[in-house]
Amino acid sequence: MNHVIIGNSFAALFAIEAIRRTDQDAEITVISREPQHVYSRAMIHEMLAGMVREPMVYLRDWDFYKRMRVRTMLGRTVTKINPGLQTVSTEEDETPYDRLLIATGGKPFVPPLNGLQDITYHSFITLEDAKKLKAACENRRNAVVLGAGLIGLQCAEALRHMGLNVAVVEMADTVLPMALDTESSQTIAKELADEGIAVHTGDTIDLIISNNGHPTECKLRSGGTIPCDLLVIAVGVRPNIDLAKDAGITTDRGIVVNEHMETSAEHIYAAGDCAQGPEIVTGITMPIPVIPVASTQGMIAGYNMAGKRRRYGGALALNAMQFGGVQVISYGFVKDERDGEVLKYIDPPRKIYRKVIIKNGRITGAIFVKDVDRAGIFRHLMEKRIDVTPFKEHLLSPHFGVAHLPAEIRADMFTRPQ
C-alpha cells in the first residue's frame, strides 16, 4: 500500500504514526511546500520572542522520518491532484498513491488595504514567517499588527518582548472576538495594555503611508494615526482547499469529510485545518482550526487509510491560551446566549471569570479566565453531551470537581477506551 500525505504538520504527523501502528510495510510519502522538519506552529511566537531556541519547536526527533520509514519531499509544492490517475503532481514529477491524505492546513487572508501594494508586509503562520519577521525587526521601532485573534496577539506579545512599540488594530469591538465574550476579552485587553501594547478595537487601517517600500505610518478609519515601520497582517486564516476544489472534490468552507475522514473522491482523505467535519455541540459541519482537532482527525484518517476502521465523532471548538499572567480556556459557542441559561462567577480583584451557557440541559459554551484548573471536566461534559441539570448548581462553585458528578459519569471519565 502506498500512502501519500500532502502537508507536514499535526494532522500529517498523527496520520503517519497511526499508519505505522497498523501497517509496518506500507510506503509513506510526505510532500510539503515547507522545507522544515515537522514543527509546532503554536510555538513560533516563543521562538520569535527569543524565549525558546529553534530546536524546541520541532515535534519529533530528527530521526523521526527514518524511524517511521517515511519518504520526504520537503520544499516541494503540489500543483495538482489527479483522482482518476491516483497521482499528485509537483512542478518536477508525479507521485502515485493508493491512499491520499490532504492535510494542507490554512492560508492567511490578506484584506485589500490602501497602500499595501507599495510595501513589504509580514504574515505569521509558518516558521519561515517567524524567521523573516525576526530578521526584519532589526532597526525597527514601531510595529503594527492588524488582527487581534490568537495569532495576532501572540505575535504582538513576541514583538513587544523584543522591545518594539506595538499597536494592535482589530475591526471587532473586542480582542479574540471568536474565542471570548466581552467580559473576558476586556481582561485580556487590560493585560496587553499593562504589557505596553496599544489596542485599537472597533477600527481598521484605512491607508498605509510608505517611503521607498517601507511603511512609515498607518491611518485608521477612526481618523487616528499610528507610527509604523513594521506591519504584520493577522486578520485570519482560511482553509487551504484549492487543490481539492480543482480536483473536483466536494468543498464548502473546508474540504467536506465523512466520519472516516473520507472526502467525496475515492481513496482520498482530508484532515486538519483544511477539513470540514462535524462540530459536537450543534452537529453542523465546519472547519475547527485547532491543534487537538487536527491531531485527532489525522490519527483517524491514518487508521482508516491503513484499513483499520475508526470513526471520527466530531470536534469541540476550543481555545487554550495565555497572555501575561492570565490563562484562558474557552469551549464551544461562548457568545450564543439565545434561549440559554447563563451562569457566571466574577472575581475582578483576582481577574477570575467563569461563564457557562446551558441549553436543554447541556453545556454549549464555557469560558475560564485565570482559574482554569477544572476546565477539563467541562470539556468532558460537553463532548459527551451530558445533561448537567442534576448538578447544575455546583458548576461554578469554587470547589466544583469530579466528586460532584454522578457515579456513572465519573466511571466514564476514568475508563480507558478500548
C-alpha cell at 38: 515537522
* β-bridge pairing 237-239 and 99-102: unpaired
Question: Strands, E, within 228-380: which ranges?
Answer: 230-233, 237-239, 255-256, 268-270, 275-278, 285-286, 318-323, 326-332, 341-347, 352-359, 362-369
- List of the chain residues with pLDDT < 50: 418
CA 144 from chain centre, in angstroms, equals 22
CB 36 within 8 A of CB 57: no
- Nearest CA to 169 out of 142, 137, 198 is that of 198
The amino acid at 278: P
How far apart, in whole angstroms, are the C-alpha atoms of residue 144 and residue 195?
A: 15
Sign of torsion over alpha carbons 32, 33, 36, 42: negative
* β-bridge pairing 70-74 and 78-82: unpaired
Q: Please give the domain boundaries of the chain with CATH numbers for all domains.
A: 2-107+238-305 (3.50.50.60), 116-235 (3.50.50.60), 325-413 (3.30.390.30)
- Stated as kind and residue range, the H or E segment containing 186 is helix 182-194
How far apart, in whole angstroms, are the C-alpha atoms of residue 248 and residue 308?
A: 27
pLDDT tens digits for 87-122? 999 999 999 999 999 999 999 999 999 999 999 999
CA distances from 270 to 12, 25, 79, 257 (A): 10, 22, 17, 7
How far apart, in whole angstroms, are the C-alpha atoms of residue 33 and residue 2?
A: 20
CB 32 within 8 A of CB 55: no
pLDDT tens digits for 248-282? 999 999 999 999 999 999 999 999 999 999 999 99
- Angle between helical axes of 182-194 and 150-161 (0-180°, round to 10): 20
* β-bridge pairing 142-146 and 275-278: unpaired
C-alpha cell at 132: 523573516
pTM, rounded to two decimals:
0.94
- Nearest CA to 12 out of 223, 236, 238, 295 is that of 295
CB 19 within 8 A of CB 60: no
How far apart, in whole angstroms, are the C-alpha atoms of residue 158 and residue 324?
A: 11
pLDDT of residue 418: 44
H helix intervals, 70-126 = none
Question: Strands, E, within 117-267: which ranges?
Answer: 142-146, 165-170, 197-201, 205-211, 214-220, 225-227, 230-233, 237-239, 255-256
CA 348 from chain centre, in angstroms, equals 29
Average pLDDT value over all residues in the chain:
95
How far apart, in whole angstroms, are the C-alpha atoms of residue 270 and residue 274?
A: 7
**Phi, psi at 360, each rounded to 5°:** 55, 40
pLDDT of residue 174: 97
- Nearest CA to 272 out of 309, 299, 247 is that of 299
The amino acid at 295: S
**Phi, psi at 391, each rounded to 5°:** -130, 25
